[in-house]
């Protein structure tokens, strides 16, 4: 069986971001969505990052996810060079416990939006889910998987509550 063509491009600023971005890849796989993962830097490989973003739609991608720490300009550079939706994941850098990355990712000028999620693991998972939600607008199978995913989350919370109530003797 041939591997499905990747529809989500994940671009991280350095290899040290992989422990966070691995959660994005794994969450996408839960939905049957293939991705391409690349390392590019907004500052050290700006031409390659721009070229990748400019050709992303032509290469079959539907969503681009960018992740970087520190100055975290990568998602903005990608967004500046594509019409595809770009989701930014701020990664903890070397200063300010990731707040520098969050502000660098979210504070984009008008006309260059980056949908920014939380810092770290929760953001990495939410970026994947947001990408699936975007693609589910035109993909009925993905929509069904999302409905099931949300129902399972609700079941887990209700189960945890029932267990707690039993412990409390309620």
Q: Which two tokens stand for residue 144?
A: 């069904």
- Written as tens digits, the pLDDT of the chain (170 aa) is 567 899 999 999 999 999 999 999 999 999 999 999 999 999 999 999 999 999 999 999 999 999 999 889 999 999 999 999 999 999 998 788 999 999 999 999 999 999 999 999 999 999 999 999 999 999 999 999 999 999 999 999 999 999 999 999 97
| Counts of helices then strands in the chain (DSSP H, E) | 6, 5
pTM above 0.85, yes or no: yes
């Amino acid at each position: 069986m041939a591997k499905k063509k990747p529809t989500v491009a994940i671009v991280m600023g350095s290899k040290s971001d992989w422990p966070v971005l691995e959660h994005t890849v794994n969450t996408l796989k839960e939905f049957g969505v293939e991705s391409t993962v690349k390392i590019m830097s907004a500052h050290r490989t700006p031409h390659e990052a721009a070229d990748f973003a400019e050709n992303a739609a032509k290469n079959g991608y539907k969503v681009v996810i960018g992740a970087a720490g520190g100055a975290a300009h990568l998602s903005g550079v990608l967004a500046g060079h594509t019409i595809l939706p770009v989701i930014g994941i701020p990664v903890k850098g070397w200063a300010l416990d990731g707040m520098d990355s969050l502000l660098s990712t979210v504070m984009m000028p008008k006309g260059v939006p980056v949908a920014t999620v939380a810092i770290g693991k929760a953001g990495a998972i939410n970026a994947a889910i947001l990408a699936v939600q975007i693609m589910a607008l035109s993909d009925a199978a993905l929509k069904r998987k999302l409905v099931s995913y949300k129902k399972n989350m609700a079941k887990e919370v209700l189960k945890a509550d029932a267990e707690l109530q039993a412990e409390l003797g309620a």
